[in-house]
């Protein structure tokens, strides 16, 4: 069975078969068995492009992982179903996000430090952390809806960074809401400026 891997999926099973120039913290993270995150890049068919995250914001490392090494995969939307009682320090924010997103009918999930902490229990979220969310947007996302969603989060005092995940790549909701011209679509082969990212 070929796994359907998409940007922001968390993967477990990475081994310490790293490039010689990999910083020591990367080896520590991999040895500990922390998940890595799928990133957008072109790779050989038996590999997947991943990012390793360290304890600090500046600690990010791009690598490749053999598909055969994957022993667990978790999609961002699976993290909306975690037991918030286990994350008391995040519970208030998680409840606010959940109630805002309830009014939004589509498929969504957590990425970034929020997603990582919900998936692993490792404390990575601080008071200053942005709340990274992903919305699956197979069909065009109305600009009016994008503006309303961002305003609702702003009124709730929540600093969100929302990515729209399109079949063709990723698009920042803020950019889509505010821009009347071309927007930046992040694709595996690089970022491109497009007028209609769904076309």
22 token code pair: 């990999």
Pairing of strands 160-166, 169-172: antiparallel
55: confidence class by pLDDT, cuts 50, 70, 90: confident
Would you please indicate which residues are annotated as catalytic (active-site) residues? 130, 132
* Cα–Cα distance, 12 to 37 (Å, whole number): 9
The per-residue pLDDT for 85 is 82
- 3-class SS at 92? helix
The residues, any chain, with a CB within 8 Å of residue 171's CB and separated by 6 or more, are 137, 163, 164, 183, 184, 185, 186, 197
CATH (one of 3.40.50, 2.40.50, 3.40.720, 2.20.100) for 77-194: 2.40.50
pLDDT bin (cut points 50, 70, 90) of residue 180 is confident
Token pair of 65, please?
């992982």
Residue 5 has pLDDT above 90, yes or no: yes
d(CA 12, CA 72): 5
pLDDT at 105 over 80: no
Q: What is the spatial distance between Cα 167 and Cα 4, in angstroms, rounded to a whole number?
A: 13
The Cα–Cα gap between 151 and 149 comes to 5
Residue 2 pLDDT: 58
**pLDDT tens by residue, 124-166:** 888 888 899 999 999 999 999 999 999 999 999 999 999 999 9
What mean pLDDT, rounded, does the chain reach? 91
Whether the model clears a pTM of 0.75, i.e. scores above it, the answer is yes
Is residue 104 predicted with pLDDT exceeding 70?
yes
* pLDDT bucket at 1, cuts 50 / 70 / 90: very low
Measure Cα distances from 111 to 22, 31, 96, 163, 189 in Å. 24, 22, 17, 9, 21
Taking only the tens place, the pLDDT of each residue in 6-32 is 999 999 999 877 888 889 999 999 999
Residue 99 CB coordination number (10 Å):
11
Measured in whole angstroms, the distance separating CA 158 from the mean position of its chain's CA atoms is 17
């Amino acid at each position: 069975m070929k796994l359907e891997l998409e940007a922001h999926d968390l993967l477990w099973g990475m081994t310490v078969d790293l490039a010689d120039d990999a910083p020591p913290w990367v080896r520590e993270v991999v040895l500990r068995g922390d998940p890595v995150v799928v990133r957008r890049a072109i790779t050989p068919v038996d590999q997947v492009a991943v990012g390793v995250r360290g304890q600090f914001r500046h600690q990010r490392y791009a690598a490749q992982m053999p598909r055969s090494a994957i022993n667990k995969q978790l999609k961002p939307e699976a993290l909306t179903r975690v037991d918030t009682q286990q994350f008391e320090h995040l519970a208030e924010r998680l409840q606010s996000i959940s109630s805002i997103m309830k009014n939004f009918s589509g498929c969504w999930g957590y990425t970034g430090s929020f997603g990582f902490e919900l998936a692993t229990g490792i404390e990575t979220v601080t008071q200053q952390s942005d709340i990274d969310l992903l919305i699956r947007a197979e069909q065009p996302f109305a600009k009016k809806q994008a503006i309303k969603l961002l305003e609702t989060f702003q009124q709730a005092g929540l600093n969100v960074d929302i990515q729209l995940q399109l079949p063709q790549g990723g698009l920042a909701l803020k950019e889509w809401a505010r821009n009347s011209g071309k927007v930046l679509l992040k694709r595996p082969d690089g970022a491109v400026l497009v007028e209609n990212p769904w076309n």
